[in-house]
A and B are shown apart, each in its own frame.
Chain A
């Protein structure tokens, strides 16, 4: 806004006046009909419900051309949304939540993605958006009644359902960011209280990304300091079989919390990643270089 416009609007705003009756109740009812709020769910699943709502807000603004534009992995926005629905559905299947879309014939996420994408290609983008949202909300509702420690499996990875849903939150966030970049929209960050558990899940994955990349870091420990809203400090054992880390960390990494989550999510280059390294710098570099190892499409 230029100064004259700002002056004009500020002048008009100098005359606050209450409507005769409060518009609040009808506003909230109307809002629910225009865009669905985040689905009610367990506290530990809220970061996921929030990212689903954010993706839905992005999709609400998409026009016809946007849906056929390639976003990532050679997928259009519609195919990307189908991919999210496919993986959400596999997690749903693993914990006994409803699985929507085509009949479930595989537990492999690439194969399920292909199935859901071919099913959705025959439907309109708006139907795909609704199908994805219905699957995500069904999963959220089911999680409301599950303990965080309930075992779940996705892509052969066994972990408590609370960790799997944080991984789904991260993937939904990363892909919403992919789509927002293509649409040149600035995507605001998740709330700090949603970023923190996501970063915690990422930090706890580091022994596994090291192991998966063939690095044996048994007995070594890492001091990880993540800065920015939702950040924190972790002292991690880097061997997958190690007990709790104790004493002075062998290596230290300080980095931005969002950049760190995105590195684990397969966005960002370990070579150029902005971080302050200390202690055993070679070990810290290995940690960063292997961090994306678990990120799929």
Chain B
């Protein structure tokens, strides 16, 4: 999925050293990145640090992002998620080490470039399975069937806007389900 023209232009401006472009990206995406970081870490201070760091890393190494491969939103979300998960894992190990040494501690896979570890992927699949039929259907069409909102609407015989709001409802349900399981 290629990035929209806006993303490309903002990326070009950041590469060209335009600070105002970084400010615009922050204004547009900070609450999403902060929300994501907060959901994973459940700690507002840590989530603020992660949010700040995500935008700083993007400014410092803007060429690591390739608009041919995805949106800016997805790219920053990927960095934020990776950092948030790293934080949670370090915290878990710290707690474990207080309780005593464990023989089989799993190391976080730092070289792993994907967002999801196998167990997380499994949980997402389960959460999709657990969605009510109508919501599961839109998610499957939009994500696994590669359909646009408009195409999802056409297949289900509903307006594009309805398809879009069903997908968003499904995403919120998924987020809730995933958050519950993490407790």
**A interface, CB within 8 angstroms of B:** 1-20, 23-24, 26-28, 30-32, 34-38, 49-54, 56-58, 60-61, 180, 185-191, 194
Contacts and interface: CB of A to CB of B under 8 A. Distances in A.
A27 B12 contact: no
Sorting the interface of chain B by its residue count into under 10, 10 to 19, 20 to 34 or 35 or more gives 35 or more
A241 to B, nearest CB: 37
Contact of B115 (A8, A20, A61): A8
B94 interface: no
Top 9 nearest A-B pairs by Cβ distance?
Answer: A53-B17, A38-B17, A50-B16, A16-B31, A17-B35, A11-B174, A34-B60, A11-B175, A12-B36
Interface of B: 8-9, 11-13, 15-19, 22-23, 26-27, 30-32, 34-36, 38-40, 44, 47-48, 51-52, 55-56, 59-64, 66-68, 70, 73-74, 77-78, 81, 114-116, 120-121, 124-125, 128, 139, 143-144, 146, 168, 171-172, 174-175, 178
B52 A15 contact: no
B34 A7 contact: no
A3 B144 contact: yes
A27 B32 contact: no
Contacts of A7: 124, 128, 139, 143, 171, 174
Nearest to B146: A3
24 contacts: A3-B146, A7-B174, A11-B124, A14-B168, A14-B175, A18-B30, A18-B34, A19-B30, A19-B34, A23-B26, A26-B52, A27-B56, A36-B17, A37-B19, A51-B16, A53-B16, A54-B17, A56-B17, A57-B17, A185-B63, A186-B63, A186-B66, A188-B63, A191-B12
Contacts of B178: 8, 11-12
A2 B143 CA distance: 9
Given A31-B56, A186-B66, A57 B36 contact: no
Nearest to B122: A4
Contacts of B120: 8
B31 A28 contact: no
Greatest chain B CB density within 10 A among A12, A19, A186 is at A12
A27 B58 CA distance: 11
A31 B26 CA distance: 12
A199 to B, nearest CB: 16
B171 A27 contact: no
A277 B174 CA distance: 57
Nearest to B69: A1
A57 B15 contact: yes
A186 B77 CA distance: 21
A146 to B, nearest CB: 21
A9 B78 contact: yes
B36 A13 contact: yes
Nearest to B139: A7
B4 to A, nearest CB: 14
A132 to B, nearest CB: 14
Nearest to B11: A188
A3 B63 contact: no
B17 A13 contact: no
B63 A13 contact: no
Given A54-B16, A57-B63, A9 B26 contact: no
